[in-house]
Amino acid sequence: MDLRVQGAGPTAPFLSAQDLFETERDLSLPVHVRIREDPDERTWAAHYDDYHVLNISRHAASSALARELVLHEFAHMARHEEAHPSHTQSTEEVLYLALAGRRVERRKLAHCYQIANHMKDIYADDITLSVGPGEKLLAFLESGLATAVADRPQTPPRPGLDRISAAADPEITAVNAAFALALAERHDLIEPDHRLYDLAHAAAMDAPAVDFDGFRRRFRELAHDPDSSTYRRVLVEAARSYVSGGPAAD
């Protein structure tokens, strides 16, 4: 992997993540790391014809979770290079198919983008957790969900910025909880008495209109190697279920 770090900040997390990632995977295109000053940016990846860009705040790059955040973005890059349906499917196309002819609140439309991002994260973390341990990720999910359950501001989150957002209303918090629990169960990270179950139950109780068990099952049981039509159908069903407030019809 050709890794190029730009900007003031630590390089150790990137090199450590590279070493760990390369035990199982590799990237064909070079990775340009851009360390930014804005602490709210966290991490996000962009993809171009001949390179990837990993944007990360200096705060995130200096955090205890830095290596895991970088590994996660490397995994997104790998999924992009292999043209995995979760990373090539247009979310706009799916929402057009799912919601055509329906009147949808702006906040729920934004939440549908977050659901699509959760599915991308599931597939990225199938790689992340095949090369690295999951303890820090589980603690991160627990902390984020605890914050969201305790304090849910009315302003919905910007799509794609956070995997578990404190700035979420009860309905998307319930979906976020289903995602967190499904990811932990998918990779056997969690014991039956883990606090995440209590937090997820509280989130589900706060949003009775959301099919919590359906989303949990949908996220957990995503096919590891779906074809494009299968993935599109699952995402369409998820969007319809969320907007309609119940299980999607087959």
Looking at residue 7, what is its pLDDT?
A: 81
**For 12-43, what is each residue's pLDDT tens digit?**
999 999 999 999 999 999 999 999 887 666 78
Looking at residue 159, what is its pLDDT?
A: 40
Res. 226 pLDDT band, cuts 50 70 90: very high
Looking at residue 202, what is its pLDDT?
A: 94
**For 88-102, what is each residue's pLDDT tens digit?**
999 999 999 999 988
Looking at residue 233, what is its pLDDT?
A: 96
**For 160-206, what is each residue's pLDDT tens digit?**
334 444 355 899 999 999 999 999 999 999 999 999 999 999 999 99
| pLDDT above 70 for 44 | yes
| pLDDT above 50 for 229 | yes
Looking at residue 160, what is its pLDDT?
A: 39
As a whole number, mean pLDDT of residues 39-68 equals 89
**For 145-158, what is each residue's pLDDT tens digit?**
999 888 655 444 44
The residue extents of the domains of the chain are 3-64, 85-244
Task: Name the pTM for this structure.
Answer: 0.89
Judge contact between 217 and 237, C-beta under 8 A.
Answer: no
Looking at residue 54, what is its pLDDT?
A: 95
Mean of the per-residue pLDDT values for the chain? 89
As a whole number, mean pLDDT of residues 105-132 equals 95
As a whole number, mean pLDDT of residues 215-224 equals 96
